[in-house]
Structure 1
Amino acid sequence: MKHLTSALLASALALPLSAPAALAETPDGVLVVAQNIDDIVAIDPAQAYEFTSGEIVTNLYDRLVQYDAEDVTVLAGGLASDWQVDADARTITFTLRDGAKFASGNPVTADDVVYSLARVVKLNLTPAFILTQLGWTPENVDQMVTGQDGQVTVKYEGDFSPSFVLNVLASRPASIVDSVVVKEHEQDGDMGNAWLNENAAGSGPFVLDRYTPAQMVRMSANKDYFKGAPAIDSVIIRHVAEAATQQLLLEKGDIDLARNLTPDQIASMNSDEIKVETYPQAAVHFLSFNQKTDSLTDPAVWQAARYLVNYEGMADSIVKGQMKVHQAFWPQGFPGSYDETPFTHDPEKAKQILADAGVETPITVTLDVINSAPFTDMAQSLQAGFAEAGINFEILPGTGSQVITKYRERSHQAMLLYWGPDFMDPHSNAKAFAYNPDNSDENYAATTTWRNAWAVPDEMNAETMAALSETDPAKREEMYRDLQRKVQEDSPIIIMFQAAYQVAMDKGVTGYVNGATSDFVYYRLVEKE
């Protein structure tokens, strides 16, 4: 058995192991990462909408403006060196920086920017809604986004502050692709979508060498990057789903970073050769009930559920160090957050709520969950807690992509999942958790409300849009806090935790940046001693 395990590990990484008496070493100039990457559905920026795909896109592509590795809290120029805002005319004019090139060697031009933004809108895949918020449609986008001679003019419709628009343009689908290369690989009018889900055509700090779904990603440094070549020559991200295997590989020296260790594993680390870094995250974790399931439509079930989650029990054990109790849709630490946590584990109160409402139990519900730590452990905790009130979960584990695809199809009953903002403005999460004006099956929306078939009350829909256009910052933040209170009190989405992300790494690794969202994971500054 010992020989079989060693063979599997060596095979998995395709790297030679050192002699038994010494730790293995990863190659000089190569950062080797073990990570569960099976949530990736797409890596084309016009389609990528998963956490891991966001990390990949960020390292391969640039945007006009972006949050970058040096300071992930500052919106800075990316492919644009500067910009001029005309709020009255709802127009922003960007000047492209000189010398920026794509991995192909082609210069970044205004035509590439115009093509890239219009491509997202015309393909109309999952993340397109982020850009179409600006009033862009397949019919008008060619008039709304124009450019020539190193300048791009962006027009928008709606009562938005310019800062909101800039945050939209700093989001993942606003990544700029090499239009010359992409057009060469177009098939049947797909604007290169199939090709870009296996390859890349960006100007970012890294170039994609190889992507094999649910196996590996290999990127090499872009030596001509406009901010300078990355400090590391290449990054290999290997799909290692099992946390225990990641720990073993790190301890043996076969990898440099382990991205998915459990709290127990983190606590057990005692090697002087390994360090653990903790990064606050913007993602919130929730339990949701699909309103297409009749037994889950009574608001009493939603309210009782809030008292059947063992928040503190999980926070002190299975998600310790990785999550903290948070019960509102906008994460703590960001303007407009609502940080009250009124719900505790109280099965007797939950049973009383159900009894008072005349809800008949037992209720049997399937619960979809990603088949990796800590999600399976969280599902078992929920299963035990809900059973105390006669709500019986049948846990259905699946890969990340399987679970997310099912969620998007609205074919689940209950779902344990997480959500991160698409851009750093509270409207990003408000639209996901407090807005759904058209609940029809035909009106696909990349929101938790639509995916759970929750027809949001008209007043809440109206308040969400009013907050978006509010120009007074203090009043706007209070409107978002009010929306969070309402969702917290009465919705089929039970928000439980805010993530804190821990990464274990070789002590010689420096410069790794893991910001508050998956779009803020950067390898450009990484060095290895």
Structure 2
Amino acid sequence: MRTRNTILPTLTLAILTAPALATAPKDTLVLMQSSDITTLDPAQAYDVASFGIVENLYETLVTYRGSDQTKLQPLLATGWTIRPDGRQYTFDLRRNVRFHSGNVMTCADAEYSLRRLLVTNNADSGNFFIAQALLGTESNAKDDPSVTWPKISRAVACNAAGQLVLTLPSPDPALLAKLASQNTGIVDRAFAVKLGEWDGTGNTWERWVGEDLTDSALSRQPSGTGAYQLVRQDAQTVLATRHNQYWGGAAPLKNVAVQMVSEEATRLASLQRCDADVAEVGLRATLPQLRSQAALQVLDHLPDLGTPVMLMNQNIQDPVLLGSGKLDGKGIPANFFSDLNIRQAFSFAFDSERYIREITSGAARHRTMALPPTFLGYDRRVPRYAYSRARATEAFKKAFGGQVWTAGFVLNVNYRSGSKTGQATMELLKASVEALNPKFRVNIQPQPWSELLAASKSGKASMLTLSWSADYADPDNVLYALFSSKGFYAPRTGFKDAQVDAWLEQARTLTDPQQRAALYRKVGARTHDLATYILMPAEPSFLVFCKGLKGVSVTSYNPMLSGLTGTYWRQVRK
């Protein structure tokens, strides 16, 4: 990776090359995490580790108000107006904002940034929901011929007054929440073009359609408006220093160092010595030990916007998983989970109380819907499938006209290799199902995560535990992804219900929150009746950090931010 000329203090560099060497310097925030950084190009980033860096190098038009995920406030925009029909947004932009290159931000940069998302939109980026809002399709021009340059340029344009105007094909009540997503960070157009990125014109746009920007020139040399700018990146470390021309004033801490350390024991040892100010702690079971350390502070029961579920694929496409492919006691048919009684039986067979007690150390909480409780439309009145041996048995006896109970079955299930939680969850389900009938057998096997993801995308997984993390704080992002026949998980579940589809499509266009909430409550009730997924108890988040770190608290933590502190680096001090 290319290195900027900024020189960090010798002590900081020493810590980065030897994490256990010394306590983190007073002017440097040292973060230690397990995951590698995929890219620093906001138009391609779509993982938590990358977003944790991107959200501090780049800024969006709007952002969250403190710890509130539902209220938005201006950031690079200073305000906006919405046309009465909900199809046009006009943004006033902040003046005298400088990029890390020294260039002054103008409307042309915002226009270029959002158009670039629509042009390069690809399957591995998170730009599909921006494309859906602005173009009416989640696809790019290669996959959808309706996407043209005139359509893109009409959707995103600057007016004569220097305001950014977004024109939508239909109202989108989630647009502002989508614009708070880290992938909409405003990039430095002139700097990007100089590096060899797309020039922003209709003459060249077709060459960049669907372009993979993972290793783009802009990823290697970012230039955003954020309070910190990149110094250096390699496989082990990201170094950043504060942007002294930052429009909001220089950040309290001069430097930030993010280290990738895969070994949990190493991260914990560094945290206990305060070699790292904040470290990723993977196992909740270690919290009692960490709480006993005088130098450390633990924040627990923080909000988490993940939606943990176990999918049951109604159209399994992998013959290996099917065994005999029949209800003969030696396998299952491809449509095994298409029988409502089967889905209900597995739902009743999952002992969620035992899961909470044994797998999450009592921390997880039940949910009634596949939706974070803070989101619009969550309904606590929806019943849930509590563990019941009797009701599971009753449902299995009804399945496929009684054939399942008489003949039995062999169900093959894969889980994520190396995931102790995933393995324990499947073993729990296996034990409770097999205890119902000696003719029932559930075989569980580990599979590399990349292979399991690819298999599920092709409908080749039978069951899968997953947690959908919200891209933007709106129920559409979760419920549409999980339940729509056009949603992200449709190929993975084989689920389709015309009534659910109609409610979800209608909710996408309504601007009245109460009307939207009513529709989402209907979705929650119907998908419960259809036992679409097994709802998993949701485990709250927690943070462990050195007490010398200030600005990290329950009131500052926002789960929509991806960094280890749960807040922007510029808000942290020592």
* TM interval, short-chain normalised: 0.7 to 0.9
| 1:350-388 alpha-carbon deviations (Å, 9 max, x no partner) | 243223213353323232326356445444444444443
Cα distance change of structure 1 residues 453 and 72 upon mapping to structure 2, 3 Å threshold: closer
- Cα distance in 2 for residues equivalent to 1:425 and 1:110: 27
For the pair 1:157 / 2:169, whether they are aligned, the reply is: yes
Which residue pairs with 1:515 in the alignment?
A: 558
Equivalent residue for 1:368, pick from 415, 431, 440: 415
For the pair 1:290 / 2:313, whether they are aligned, the reply is: yes
- Consecutive unaligned residues of structure 2, counting only runs of 5 or more, are 1-12, 136-146, 199-206, 317-333
Which residue pairs with 1:6 in the alignment?
A: none
Please report how far the alpha carbon of residue 218 of structure 1 lies from its aligned counterpart in structure 2 after TM superposition: 3.1
Three-state SS of the structure 2 residue aligned to 1:524 is: helix
- Cα distance in 1 for residues equivalent to 2:262 and 2:441: 30
Cα distance change of structure 1 residues 185 and 250 upon mapping to structure 2, 3 Å threshold: same
For the pair 1:14 / 2:14, whether they are aligned, the reply is: no
Which residue pairs with 1:114 in the alignment?
A: 111
| 1:186-217 alpha-carbon deviations (Å, 9 max, x no partner) | 3874485531444533222222334445x443
Determine if contact 2:15/2:24 at 8 Å carries over to the other structure.
Answer: no
Determine if contact 2:43/2:213 at 8 Å carries over to the other structure.
Answer: no
Cα distance change of structure 1 residues 277 and 16 upon mapping to structure 2, 3 Å threshold: closer
Which residue pairs with 1:26 in the alignment?
A: 24
Determine if contact 2:115/2:153 at 8 Å carries over to the other structure.
Answer: yes
For the pair 1:485 / 2:549, whether they are aligned, the reply is: no
Report 1:259-408 matches (<5 A). 259-269=280-290, 270-278=292-300, 279-293=302-316, 294=334, 295-320=336-361, 323-339=364-380, 340=382, 342-357=384-399, 358-359=403-404, 360-369=407-416, 371-372=418-419, 374-389=421-436, 390-396=440-446, 398=448, 404=453, 407-408=456-457
Please report how far the alpha carbon of residue 26 of structure 1 lies from its aligned counterpart in structure 2 after TM superposition: 1.8
Determine if contact 1:262/1:373 at 8 Å carries over to the other structure.
Answer: no
Question: Higher mean Cα deviation, 123-132 or 237-246?
Answer: 237-246
More strand per residue: 1
Determine if contact 1:321/1:502 at 8 Å carries over to the other structure.
Answer: no
Report 1:495-506 matches (<5 A). 495-506=535-546
Please report how far the alpha carbon of residue 74 of structure 1 lies from its aligned counterpart in structure 2 after TM superposition: 3.2
Determine if contact 1:366/1:414 at 8 Å carries over to the other structure.
Answer: yes
Cα distance change of structure 1 residues 158 and 393 upon mapping to structure 2, 3 Å threshold: farther
| 1:211-238 alpha-carbon deviations (Å, 9 max, x no partner) | 445x443333222222222222233232
Equivalent residue for 1:468, pick from 501, 508, 517: 508
Three-state SS of the structure 1 residue aligned to 2:246 is: coil
Question: Higher mean Cα deviation, 369-378 or 202-211?
Answer: 369-378
Paired letter, 1:130? F
- Cα distance in 2 for residues equivalent to 1:89 and 1:497: 37
Cα distance change of structure 1 residues 310 and 256 upon mapping to structure 2, 3 Å threshold: farther
Which residue pairs with 2:79 in the alignment?
A: 82
Three-state SS of the structure 1 residue aligned to 2:353 is: helix
- Cα distance in 2 for residues equivalent to 1:105 and 1:403: 45
Three-state SS of the structure 2 residue aligned to 1:236 is: strand
Paired letter, 1:328? M
- Cα distance in 1 for residues equivalent to 2:79 and 2:120: 29
Cα distance change of structure 1 residues 271 and 191 upon mapping to structure 2, 3 Å threshold: closer
Determine if contact 1:45/1:175 at 8 Å carries over to the other structure.
Answer: yes
Please report how far the alpha carbon of residue 256 of structure 1 lies from its aligned counterpart in structure 2 after TM superposition: 1.7
User: How large is the RMSD of aligned CA atoms in angstroms?
Assistant: 3.0
Q: Identity, % of aligned pairs?
A: 24
Report 1:56-67 matches (<5 A). 56-67=53-64
Residue-pair matches, total: 500
Cα distance change of structure 1 residues 68 and 372 upon mapping to structure 2, 3 Å threshold: farther
Q: With structure 1 as the length reference, what TM-score do the two structures score?
A: 0.85
Equivalent residue for 1:168, pick from 158, 168, 178: 178
Q: With structure 2 as the length reference, what TM-score do the two structures score?
A: 0.79
Determine if contact 1:283/1:517 at 8 Å carries over to the other structure.
Answer: no
Three-state SS of the structure 2 residue aligned to 1:230 is: coil
Determine if contact 2:39/2:215 at 8 Å carries over to the other structure.
Answer: no
Three-state SS of the structure 1 residue aligned to 2:386 is: coil
For the pair 1:48 / 2:91, whether they are aligned, the reply is: no
For the pair 1:220 / 2:241, whether they are aligned, the reply is: yes
Which residue pairs with 1:527 in the alignment?
A: 573
- Cα distance in 2 for residues equivalent to 1:55 and 1:410: 31
Which residue pairs with 1:145 in the alignment?
A: 156
Cα distance change of structure 1 residues 381 and 51 upon mapping to structure 2, 3 Å threshold: farther
Three-state SS of the structure 2 residue aligned to 1:394 is: strand
- Cα distance in 2 for residues equivalent to 1:355 and 1:510: 59
Which residue pairs with 2:463 in the alignment?
A: 414
Cα distance change of structure 1 residues 241 and 395 upon mapping to structure 2, 3 Å threshold: farther
Cα distance change of structure 1 residues 133 and 417 upon mapping to structure 2, 3 Å threshold: same
Paired letter, 2:560? T
| 1:329-350 alpha-carbon deviations (Å, 9 max, x no partner) | 2211333112345222234432
Three-state SS of the structure 1 residue aligned to 2:309 is: strand
| 1:80-109 alpha-carbon deviations (Å, 9 max, x no partner) | 112222123721111111111222222212
Which residue pairs with 1:207 in the alignment?
A: 229
- Cα distance in 1 for residues equivalent to 2:26 and 2:83: 49
Equivalent residue for 2:98, pick from 96, 101, 112: 101
Determine if contact 2:312/2:462 at 8 Å carries over to the other structure.
Answer: yes
Determine if contact 1:118/1:145 at 8 Å carries over to the other structure.
Answer: yes
